[in-house]
Chain A
Amino acid sequence: DQQVKQNSPSLSVQEGRISILNCDYTNSMFDYFLWYKKYPAEGPTFLISISSIKDKNEDGRFTVFLNKSAKHLSLHIVPSQPGDSAVYFCAASVKFSGGYNKLIFGAGTRLAVHP
């Protein structure tokens, strides 16, 4: 049961252009969504998040959009830079009683930004 799906395993973008990474989810109980960036042999690093009560959150070159009716979120990187080349994971959080949460991750999308 894959609750968080990233259907594009890879994406190639030219430097300076926009990168758009997509993510779909199935569980309507998810209340918080996150994007992580991961380099090989390292742990993921947190990039940006969005609460389910919002539809957009922006942080510098990174913007996350949430469409709750479509159960879809996307990460926009503008302008894309070669250093952005990495695997990007979408994650969704569901809250449980007691104040703890579980993060469910997608399979990741490998972004390659070329000159």
Chain B
Amino acid sequence: SQTIHQWPATLVQPVGSPLSLECTVEGTSNPNLYWYRQAAGRGLQLLFYSVGIGQISSEVPQNLSASRPQDRQFILSSKKLLLSDSGFYLCAWSRGAGTEAFFGQGTRLTVV
């Protein structure tokens, strides 16, 4: 069976510090990978998606970047965090068009 791991579960970082969130998927190959963010009281906003190693598409201009160094690894990064980067970050995977996406447990990021 497929599983998705996302860590850490919670993170408190000072403004201006770097960020690295990691997500890995097991039990499948060549998944579509996604990073979403849920701001307080808001829906899920798609940040990045990837259809293969090294292929990253950005949905919104922002202070974050994503990378996919391996088939089942997806990393969300920032060089310098802003207060507005606080939120609940979710990694997800899907098999492709017409299929559901499966989410990790999320990371609660608080920038102070």
A residues whose Cβ falls under 8 Å from a Cβ of B:
4, 6, 31-32, 34, 36, 41-46, 49, 51, 89, 91, 93, 95-96, 98-108
Closest A-B pairs by Cβ, 9 of them:
A43-B103, A107-B43, A95-B97, A105-B44, A101-B97, A100-B51, A46-B100, A99-B96, A100-B32
Main secondary structure on B side of the interface with A: strand
Chain B residue contacts of A43, Cβ below 8 A: 6, 90, 92, 103-106
Interface pair B43/A45, CB less than 8 Å apart = no
Per the bound structure, the CA–CA distance linking A3 and B100 in Å amounts to 18
Chain A residue contacts of B108, Cβ below 8 A: 41
Residue contacts A-B, CB under 8 angstroms, 10 given: A41-B108, A89-B44, A95-B98, A99-B51, A99-B96, A101-B32, A101-B99, A103-B34, A103-B92, A105-B45
Per the bound structure, the CA–CA distance linking A96 and B98 in Å amounts to 11
Chain B residue contacts of A98, Cβ below 8 A: 51
Chain B residue contacts of A104, Cβ below 8 A: 46
Per the bound structure, the CA–CA distance linking A43 and B34 in Å amounts to 13
Could you tell me the distance in whole angstroms from the C-beta of B55 to the nearest C-beta in chain A? 9
Could you tell me the distance in whole angstroms from the C-beta of B68 to the nearest C-beta in chain A? 13
Per the bound structure, the CA–CA distance linking A51 and B42 in Å amounts to 26
Interface pair A93/B44, CB less than 8 Å apart = no
Q: Please tell me if B94 contacts chain A, counting CB pairs below 8 Å.
A: yes
Could you tell me the distance in whole angstroms from the C-beta of A86 to the nearest C-beta in chain B? 14
Chain B residue contacts of A44, Cβ below 8 A: 44, 90, 103
Could you tell me the distance in whole angstroms from the C-beta of B76 to the nearest C-beta in chain A? 14
Interface pair A106/B43, CB less than 8 Å apart = yes
Chain A residue contacts of B49, Cβ below 8 A: 100, 102
Could you tell me the distance in whole angstroms from the C-beta of A56 to the nearest C-beta in chain B? 18
Q: A45-B103, A100-B49, A107-B43 are in contact. List 12 more A-B contacts (CB 8 A).
A: A4-B43, A31-B97, A36-B103, A41-B106, A41-B108, A42-B106, A43-B103, A43-B104, A49-B100, A100-B32, A101-B32, A102-B46
